[in-house]
């Protein structure tokens, strides 16, 4: 990306594309029912960010209880949702920033700062959920935090890493825009 500059059409959209992937992972985490699942037979417990479902035995009906009745459930959902909304805002701002012919590097650094704020909110929700869930909800057998919870953590890690990229990108403004003459480390005979 630095070799060709951000005017190189295929490299220009890498960071917004990664933000888009983070948004997709966030949607999967918000909508997924696999935040917590029973690990062994009988599979009697399944939970999402929004509800906890149990069944008395194999083949019987699931009975679900909303986690929004608990203060920690509302707090976990709200903080993760705020982080996700900030991520979507950063995605929209990145598309706008990279669509403009003349890049505004201070604008890009602001997107990086907003990504760090989004990561803080996401991590708060991802920490509140398992701590309070395991202490306040009765669980049977061996349970594990599963795939949708993993997508939530992947989203938070992507927010942190992309925040670093967006914050550090303006430091290389001249190299990215092609204003620096290349230096060669060999001498001609």
Q: What are the structural domains of the chain?
A: 9-169 (1.20.140.150)
29 near 151, Cβ under 8 Å? yes
Q: Which helix (H) or strand (E) holds 156?
A: helix 147-168
Asked whether the whole model's pTM tops 0.75, one would answer: yes
Identify which of 65-74, 79-88, 98-107 has the greatest average pLDDT: 79-88
Torsion of CA 137, 140, 146, 150, to 10 degrees: 30
> How many helices and strands, by DSSP H and E, does the chain display?
6, 5
The region that residue 52 occupies, defined by phi over 0 for left and psi between -120 and 50 for alpha, beta otherwise, is beta
> Average model confidence (pLDDT) for the chain?
84
- What tens digit of pLDDT does each residue of 122-177 get? 999 999 999 998 888 887 778 888 899 999 999 999 999 999 988 887 666 655 55
Q: Which residue has the higher pLDDT, 54 or 185?
A: 54
Q: What is the largest CA-CA distance in the chain?
A: 83
Residue pointed to by tokens 């979507």: 88
- What tens digit of pLDDT does each residue of 91-113 get? 999 888 877 766 666 788 899 99
């Amino acid at each position: 990306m630095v070799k060709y500059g951000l005017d190189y059409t295929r490299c220009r959209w890498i960071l917004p594309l990664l933000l888009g992937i983070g948004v997709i992972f966030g949607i999967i985490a918000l909508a997924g029912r696999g935040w917590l699942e029973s690990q062994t037979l009988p599979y009697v417990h399944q939970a999402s960010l929004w509800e906890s479902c149990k069944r008395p035995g194999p083949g019987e009906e699931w009975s679900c209880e909303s986690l929004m009745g608990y203060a920690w459930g509302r707090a976990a959902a709200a903080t993760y949702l705020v982080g996700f909304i900030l991520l979507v805002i950063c995605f929209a701002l990145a598309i706008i920033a990279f669509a403009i012919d003349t890049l505004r590097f201070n604008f890009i650094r602001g997107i990086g700062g907003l990504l760090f704020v989004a990561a803080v909110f996401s991590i708060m929700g991802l920490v509140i959920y398992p701590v309070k869930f395991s202490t306040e909800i009765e669980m049977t057998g061996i349970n594990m935090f599963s795939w949708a919870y993993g997508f939530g953590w992947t989203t938070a890690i992507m927010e942190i890493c992309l925040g670093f990229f967006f914050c550090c990108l303006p430091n290389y403004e001249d190299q990215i825009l092609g204003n620096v003459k290349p230096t060669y480390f060999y001498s001609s005979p």
